[in-house]
Every structure is written in C-alpha cells, then in structure tokens.
C-alpha cells in the first residue's frame, strides 16, 4: 500500500545500530504514515535478521542484495522498491540524528528537495579527524557549481518529492547519491535543514580510496549533464583534430595526382579542395557525436541533419567574417583574432544547435 513517506537506509554491517535507529525514527515520525526500507548488501554480521525481528513491532522491511555492493546503488534500488509520495535517505549508524527527520519531513511539505545540512545555520560537522575534514571540504567545494544554493552538497541525509525525480536518469556510482539526486531531479524548490553530524555509534566507516575516485567520475558526469556546452566543446575539439588529420593525410597522400599538386587544378589554392573535404568529414563526425551524445535524450527537429549542415556552413562564413573584422578593425594579430573568432562563433553554434536543430523533450 502506498505510504506517505519511505525512509531508505543503506546498510552494510550495521547490526548493532539498527534497533536504536528504528526506535528513534519512530519517535521522530510518530504522526507520519511511513515505512523504513533497509537495503542491505548481504552483511555478514546478521543485520538483516536483526531488522526482521524489528518488523514485528515497527513498519520496517529489509531488502537484501546478494549480487551487488555499493551505497549509491543500494539507495537507488531502495527508491525503486518503495512507493510513497516522499522519500528520505539516511545512514544507519546514527550519525544522522533521527530527530532531524521531524523538521526534514515538515520542510518537504512545501519544498521539493531538502538537504540535511551540516553547514547551514545551526548545523555542524561534529568531531572529525583533520584528514576527514579536508576530504569533506574539498569534496563539497568541487560540487559548488552544480548546487550553488546548497551549502552541504555531500550530505548522505536528504529528502525529496518522488514525482520530481526520474530514477532512470541516475547513475549510482560511489557514495554521493544525494548530490546525484539533487542535480538530476527537476525540483521547483530546494532548501536545507541543519543537523549535527554525530560520532558513529558503533562499527566503522566504510569510506575508502576507491569511493573517492568514484566521486571524481561522478563529478565529471554531473558537470557534463548540467553544462551541455562542455559536451559540445569536447565534440568541437575532437572534430578539429579529425579535420586536421584528414587534411594532412590528403595533402601528403593525395588520392589522384591532380588532387593536391601545386599548379594543377586549383593552382596555388591547391589546399582548398582537401580542406573542403576534411571539413565535410569533421562536420558529419560532429553532427553524429552531438546527436548521440551532447543532445542524447533530446528530439531532433525535422530535417535536423540538413539544419546542422546549414548551421555549420553559415557559421564557418561567420567565423571568417569575424576573423577578418577583428584583424582589420580591431587591430588584433591574426592568431589571437582567430582564437577569439572561434570562441565567439562556437557559442553562436551551440545556441543555434540548441534552438534550431534539437529540442528538449
């Protein structure tokens, strides 16, 4: 039956913590129709058995994953396996004080995404070793442009309105699933609720070097998803390399003697035909990469391919015009002028592709 709230708790060897957690969550959510769904990765300490005992008295259940490991993917599986209007995710080890669920749930009534925050007014990161503080500070800073309005971007405690999130957009690697859900969901409103990160009740943290490396991968994916222009830039850069390599090859190894020999065919402008061909290949290459990568999930407008070619051709002329204008009237030397022209036209190109070739669904 559909609940108002599902509390998702990933567990790995948390047998000693779950009963106190369940008791305190029950106290914090006394007025709410909720369930706790534990997602356990086959802990060897009997966490799942302990939870099953609690199910006699509390609205809790456990899903045990035998073939998978990982905090983020456990949270996502828990979200998929539950059905409720609201979702809250928290750790099992009581470092997220259960009492904070009362204000967090209250905030969810008016806000689509609520981050539990150690850095908001009234919150605190608690007693941490200096090393762990630095790791957390840097991790938080690296995500700043992704969630500028949130102070604690790497918290493991958060809640959201389920309807605002499409779970299929998530790529659950590593730990920072709160950041992933905050960035990929479509929320109209976002806020933070302060909490103090308590010392771990029992057991040990599972943070490792591998988790940190996975965070870097996650950041790359999130930045590319949020700032589509970065994808477009990478495609543009690759297209440039393709263009130059082909041009070089055609001039070095022409397919026919008349093709690039100085004096024959196009005379001293012998390089124009190879350049035209290499540019054509680069444009096709860029079009395909943009279609299947940059604008993946977007709809291509009618005659999108043709539109792209018209856009690429027209902007190439614009590029040359800008270069000429910068040199002639701006008195800028040709090389920096070309760089400026490329950058300027690049942004125009991106905007045209976004408005005229593809459209967001």
Does residue 11 belong to the site contacting ligand GDD (CB under 6 A)? yes
Taking alpha carbons only, the member of 132, 112, 116, 134 closest to residue 124 is: 116
260 interface partner picked from Mn ion, ligand GDD, none, CB below 5 to 8 A per type: none
Structure tokens at 237: 């850069």
For residue 287, state whether it binds ligand GDD (rule: CB under 6 A): no
What DSSP string runs through 322-340? HHHHHHHTT---HHHHHHH
Q: 3-class SS at 194?
A: strand
Residue choice 82, 95, 117, 290 for contact with ligand GDD (CB under 6 A):
95
Residue 115's beta-bridge partner residues? 158, 192
Question: In angstroms, rounded to a whole number, what is the distance separating the alpha carbons of residues 207 and 191?
Answer: 27
List CB contacts of 96: < 8 A, sequence separation 6 or more: 90, 116, 156, 157, 195, 197, 198
Q: How far is the CB of 29 from ligand GDD (least distance, A)?
A: 18
**Tokens encoding 217:** 């991968």
Binding residue for ligand GDD, selected from 69, 202, 328, 355, defined by CB under 6 A: 69
Q: Judged by CB under 6 A, does residue 319 bind ligand GDD? A: no
Kindly state the smallest distance separating residue 11's Cβ from ligand GDD, in Å: 5
14: contact with Mn ion by CB under 5 A: no
Q: Strand ranges (DSSP E) for 41-182?
A: 60-64, 84-89, 113-117, 158-161
Shortest Å, Cβ 167 to ligand GDD: 17
If one asks whether residue 155 binds Mn ion (CB under 5 A), the answer comes out as no
Identified binder of ligand GDD from the candidate list 51, 74, 182, 250, rule CB under 6 A: 74
Instruction: Give the tokens for residue 44.
Output: 């060897």
Residue 95 within binding range of Mn ion, rule CB under 5 A: yes
Q: Is 276 exposed, middle or buried (0-12, 13-18, 19+ CB in 10 A)?
A: exposed
Least distance (Å) between residue 157 CB and Mn ion: 10
39 contacts ligand GDD (rule: CB under 6 A): yes
Residue 186, binding choice from ligand GDD, Mn ion, none, Cβ under 5 to 8 Å by partner class:
none
Q: Give the nearer residue to ligand GDD in terms of CB position, either 41 or 319.
A: 41
List residues near Mn ion by CB under 5 A: 93, 95
Binding site for ligand GDD (CB under 6 A): 10-12, 14, 39-41, 69-71, 74, 91-93, 95, 154-156, 175-176, 205-207
């Amino acid at each position: 039956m559909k609940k108002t709230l599902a509390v998702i708790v990933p567990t790995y060897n948390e047998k000693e913590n779950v009963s106190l957690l369940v008791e305190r969550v029950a106290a914090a959510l006394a007025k709410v129709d909720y369930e706790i769904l534990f997602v356990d990765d086959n802990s060897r300490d009997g966490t799942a058995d302990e939870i099953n005992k609690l199910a006699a008295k509390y609205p809790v259940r456990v899903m045990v994953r035998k073939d998978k490991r990982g905090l983020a993917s456990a949270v996502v599986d828990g979200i998929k396996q539950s059905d409720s209007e609201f979702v809250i995710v928290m750790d099992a080890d009581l470092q997220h004080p259960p009492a904070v669920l009362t204000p967090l749930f209250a905030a969810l009534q008016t806000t689509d995404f609520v981050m539990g925050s150690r850095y908001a007014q009234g919150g605190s990161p608690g007693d941490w070793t200096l090393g762990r503080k630095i790791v957390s500070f840097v991790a938080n800073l690296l995500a700043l442009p992704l969630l500028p309005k949130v102070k604690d971007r790497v918290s493991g405690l958060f809640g959201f309105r389920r309807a605002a999130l499409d779970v299929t957009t998530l790529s659950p690697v590593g730990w920072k699933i709160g950041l992933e859900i905050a960035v990929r969901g479509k929320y109209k409103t976002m806020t933070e609720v302060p909490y103090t990160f308590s010392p771990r009740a029992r057991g040990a943290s599972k943070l490792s070097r591998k988790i940190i490396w996975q965070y870097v991968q996650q950041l790359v994916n999130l930045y590319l998803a949020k700032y589509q222009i970065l994808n477009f830039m990478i495609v543009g850069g690759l297209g440039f390399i393709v263009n130059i390599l082909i041009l070089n090859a055609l001039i070095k190894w022409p397919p026919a003697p008349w093709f690039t020999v100085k004096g024959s065919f196009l005379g001293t402008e012998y390089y124009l035909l190879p350049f035209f061909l290499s540019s054509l290949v680069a444009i096709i290459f860029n079009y395909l990469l943009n279609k299947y990568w940059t604008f993946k999930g977007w709809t291509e407008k009618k005659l999108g391919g043709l539109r792209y070619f018209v856009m690429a051709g027209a902007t190439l002329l614009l590029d040359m015009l800008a270069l000429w204008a910068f040199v002639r009237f701006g008195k800028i030397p040709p090389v920096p002028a070309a760089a400026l022209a490329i950058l300027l036209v690049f942004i125009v190109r991106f905007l045209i592709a976004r408005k005229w070739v593809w459209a967001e669904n």
